[in-house]
Structures are given as structure tokens and as C-alpha cells.
Amino acid sequence: MNNNTPLSSKIRGAAYIRYSSVMQNDTFTLDAQLRQIKLRAASDGIEIIKIYSDPANSAYKNKYRPGINEMLQDAQKKEFDLLYVHKVDRLARRLEWAIEIVKELQSQEINLKAVEQNFDLATAEGKLMFHLLGSLGEFYSDNLSKETHKGKYERASQGYHNGWVPWGFKSEKVGEHKMAVPDPNLISKMVETFERFATGLYYDQDMADWMNSQGLRTRFNRLFTKDAVRDLLQNPFYKGVVSYRGTYAHNGKTRRKADAENIKGIHTPIISEELFEKCQKVRATRRHNSGSNQSTRRVYFLSGILVCAHCNHHLRAQSSPSNRYYREVSRLRGEKCVFDGRSVVADQVETRVSEIMESLVLPANWQATLQEMLNTQKDELDPQKEMARIKGELRRMREAFKAGLYENDEHSFWREIEGLQEKLSSLEQITPHEFREAGKVLVSLKEAWHIATLEERREFCQIILKQVAYDFERGMITRILPNPEYEVLFRLAGDSDVIAYLDSQP
């Protein structure tokens, strides 16, 4: 099929558009790409019924972007017959990935057209042109990355910062270059932050709490977290050094963990080298001298499992010198929750979970009863039909979201999506062997839990539980979601309170 050949109006068209942050010319914006695609489709007599897009995301690490994944899923369902793109390099960063995408489309008898590039994949010449255009796009991307690396390294070698200046500095133009200048409103607080930590009396979370209590906020007007404080206190920029790690991973290390090249900066230091190094010694001493008592005290066996019952977001494990907590930190993620900033003492929720775990006792005939329950569920509900129904509902909700129907209530949208995804996950086929293995774990759980360390209890929770919801308003656990292979077993082993936790709606 030639790019200039008129097409039948019965063919269903789709468009994929992607904007790269390095492309500043209007030719490459999403609106401009879509406008040109629609004009071309109209001249072909094709109506665009589906639009897939990925906004600026040049640092996206996965193989395919979300818009491409959605497009490929719809292609498998044969929801369109022809895909338009602006240029071949909009499909993927790598030629080999673009080829994979085209092969997948062709396997579903879906054709590809590039508005600004004339090739016909049905011919040998067209395939050659496709490969050449893809190779040129990949070369441009690689060369751009290389030139960007060179430019950043040259800037660092002259003592200038790259990217955002650290908190406590402002970026101002001095002569022909932008450089970091200490913010006079923050210098004293910055010095006090380092001096407090250097005493050895405070941990990262203590420092975050103190900075927040002083009304200090991050560059993006968010509360400080222990992670943000840790990065701040280890950044040599404050003592006048520019640390450069390159722009890409090498020697098997990520850029963040790569060995840094430290270069004397031209900016004015806020912290003396002596004070900075004293802080590093405090941190190093804690790493080397952290005994078993502190290690045990700081284990959170519900980490990654405990969520807020109101917004369904994970609670963050945090600690002070005297206690451990789980805290609601939706604001730090850019979300909204009425209980943001509230915390619960870790022992309170972990004690309740321990009571629940020790209360689970499977009956002697659990295997026969389990099989009977599974057979009953299978008769009452066709898993395949229910999974298809849920997938259809998820697809309709995402289309409604794109259309702006959830514009003023994104919170409800994501809660409904998560609920449907959980139901979908629970319908996945679990083999009898997986049920038997799960049952063996529960049979010995009570005795094992009683003698388990905090680390071992954490492992048990990761194996058995998917989610535990804590209600800050009621001050109690209100919902438990086991991993799919354990849900039926919980109903066999648990008392009425446990079953009530299972049946509680999000």
C-alpha cells in the first residue's frame, strides 16, 4: 500500500503521537502532529477513531511508553485497521523496537503510515526505507545524548552546576552563564541544619521534622522527608564542589550510583568543608556501629502493605530515636488526602496484625473443604467472562478519563481503577499446587509467627498479604486483602472478625 494511495472510508484509522522534550520546533508538538495526521487521513478518506499519545518523556526508561502499550493492546482486539504516525521515530527510541511494533501490527493485519515519510511496507523498497528512517532516528537520538553529555561535562568542568540548583541556592545569570547563588533567606537555616546533624543526636527523620516545623519547604513547596534530608546532607555542592556522574549508566552502575568526579565549583559555599565532613563521619559511624538492637527496632513488617483506608495510598515507614511510625504522606506524592500528615505508632497496627496471623487455624479437612469451595465458586461465576467484563469496564473508564469526565474527581477514578484491578487479579487462575503450598504455610503459621523475628514476620506478610488498610478516623484496621492464593484459605482459617476484614469494601 503506497502512502499516496486513497483508502476506503470503511477502514478505521488511529493516530499515535509523541512529543520529545528536546524537540522545540512546533512541527513536533502533539497538537501539530495530530493536526497533520488528521489532514492526511481526511485526504485518504479515513476517519481517526482512536488517538494514542505520550507527552514529553525523554527520560522514560521502559521499552514501550504507556501510549504504545495501550495502542498494541487495542491492536490485538482489532479496534482499528490503520495507524498513522507523524514520523517513524515517533514510534520508539530504538529501531529494533519500532520493527517489533510494526511486526505486531502486521500480525493483526494493521497497516502503518507515516505522514511525512513516504514508504510502502508491502514492498522490499518500502521496508528498506523504513529501516533507513528508523536508523537515522536512532542515530539522532544517540548523537543528541552524546552531545548533551559533552555539554554538561564541559559546564561541570568549569565549575558550573547542571540542572536544578540544590535547595538553599538560586539560579541567577552572571555574565553569559547561569550560576548558583546562595539564597540569603536560607543560609542561616542551612548552616543550622548541618550543625544539628553533626552533633550526632538527630536522625534524618528528626531533621526532616525540625525543618518542617521551621516552616521550611522543598523547592516544590512540599514537606521535607527523611530521604530528601539524607540527599541534602550528603551533597558536596554545599561545601563548594560540583559532583558529576555523567548522563548515562556505565560499568553496570546507574548514574546515581556511578563513581562521581568532584570538581571545585565557582559558586560560593554555604557550609565549611570541616562541617560537611563531620556530618559524613556521623553517618558513617552509624552505618558501621548499627547493632542488632537498632536494626530490629527499625524493621517495619507492614512496609509496602499498609495503606490509608481513605485514599488507598501506601503509608510510609518512618522513625524517630524513640519510636516507629507509619505516616500518611499523600501530599509528598502530589495527591490529596484529608489525613495527610497523620501517623500511627507501628506497634499498634503490627500487634493487631500479629493477633490476626496467630488466630488463623485451618481445619483438619481443609484440603477437601477448599476443593468444594473452589468448585462452588466455579459453578457460580465464569472467571473468563468476569475477567472480560472487568477489562471492558477498565477500558471504558480510561476512555472517560481521557475525555475529561473525571476532571474534578480524579481521586474516585483511581480508587475505582485500583478496585477493578484487584478484582481482576483475584480472578487469575491459581493452580491446585499453589493452593496446597499456601495451605502448608497457614498450617504452621501460628507456631512460626510466635517465634519469628521482625524480619521473618515481614517475609511472612510479603508472602501472604497484598494489602492492609488502616482507618485514621476510627483508629483501627478496617480491611485486609490477602494475596489471591490465600483469600479462600483465610475464609477457612479465620474467625468472623477476619472474614469481616476480607469483605470490607475499599
Written as tens digits, the pLDDT of the chain (506 aa) is 445 444 445 789 999 987 654 443 333 466 777 888 888 888 888 889 888 887 655 444 555 678 888 888 898 888 999 999 887 776 766 666 777 888 888 888 888 888 877 765 555 555 555 555 444 444 444 444 454 455 455 555 665 666 677 888 888 877 767 788 889 998 999 999 999 899 888 888 888 888 888 888 887 778 888 888 998 998 888 988 887 665 444 444 434 444 567 777 778 888 899 999 999 998 888 766 554 444 444 788 898 899 999 888 889 888 877 788 999 987 766 677 889 889 999 999 999 999 999 888 888 888 787 777 666 655 444 556 667 777 788 788 777 777 777 666 665 666 677 667 666 665 555 566 677 778 888 888 888 888 888 888 888 888 889 899 999 999 999 999 888 778 888 888 888 888 888 877 66
Instruction: Give CA–CA dist 70/52, Å, rounded.
Output: 8
CB 68 within 8 A of CB 101: yes
Rg over CA atoms, the chain: 28
The whole-number pLDDT of residue 167 equals: 86
Q: What span, in angstroms and rounded, lies between the C-alpha atoms of 183 and 201?
A: 27
Q: Give which of 308, 351, 352, 353 is closest to 326, Cα–Cα.
A: 308
Please say whether the beta carbons of 370 and 488 come within 8 A.
Answer: yes
Distance CA 51, CA 14 (A): 6
Give the Cα-Cα-Cα angle 424, 391, 79 (nearest 5 degrees): 155
Asked if 36 contacts 86 with a C-beta cutoff of 8 angstroms, the reply is yes
What confidence score (pLDDT) does residue 44 get?
A: 85
**Residue 180 in 3-state DSSP?**
strand
Domains 12-146 and 169-289 share a fold: no
Q: What is the pLDDT of residue 462?
A: 86
Return the pLDDT at 148.
46
- Would you state the CATH architecture of domain 12-146? 3-Layer(aba) Sandwich (3.40)
User: How many other C-beta atoms are found inside a 10 Å radius of the C-beta of residue 449?
Assistant: 17
The b/e string for 325-352 (b: 16+ C-beta within 10 A; e otherwise) is bbbbbbebeeeebebbebbbebeebbee
Through-space distance between the first and last CA atoms of the chain, rounded to whole angstroms: 51
Angle ∠(208,209,211) on CA atoms, nearest 5: 65
Whole-angstrom distance, CA of residue 240 vs CA of residue 138: 38
Q: What pLDDT score was predicted for residue 291?
A: 47
Domain ranges in the chain are: 12-146, 169-289, 292-506
pLDDT at 246: 56
pLDDT in the model for residue 503: 78
Q: Topology of domain 169-289, per CATH?
A: Hect, E3 ligase catalytic domain fold (3.90.1750)
Phi, psi of 86 (to 5 degrees): -75, -50
The reported pLDDT for the residue numbered 275 is 93
Q: Is the dihedral of CA 85, 88, 94, 97 positive or negative?
A: positive
3-state class of 52 per DSSP?
strand
Q: DSSP for 434-487, please give it.
A: HHHHHHHHHHTHHHHHHH--HHHHHHHHHHHEEEEEEETTTTEEEEEEE-HHHH
Identity of residue 213:
S
Pair 363, 373: CB distance under 8 Å: no
The per-residue pLDDT for 34 is: 82
**d(Cα 285, Cα 445) in Å, to the nearest integer?**
38
Confidence at residue 102, expressed as pLDDT on a 0 to 100 scale = 81
pLDDT of residue 121: 55
- Are 335 and 414 spatial neighbours (Cβ–Cβ below 8 Å)? no
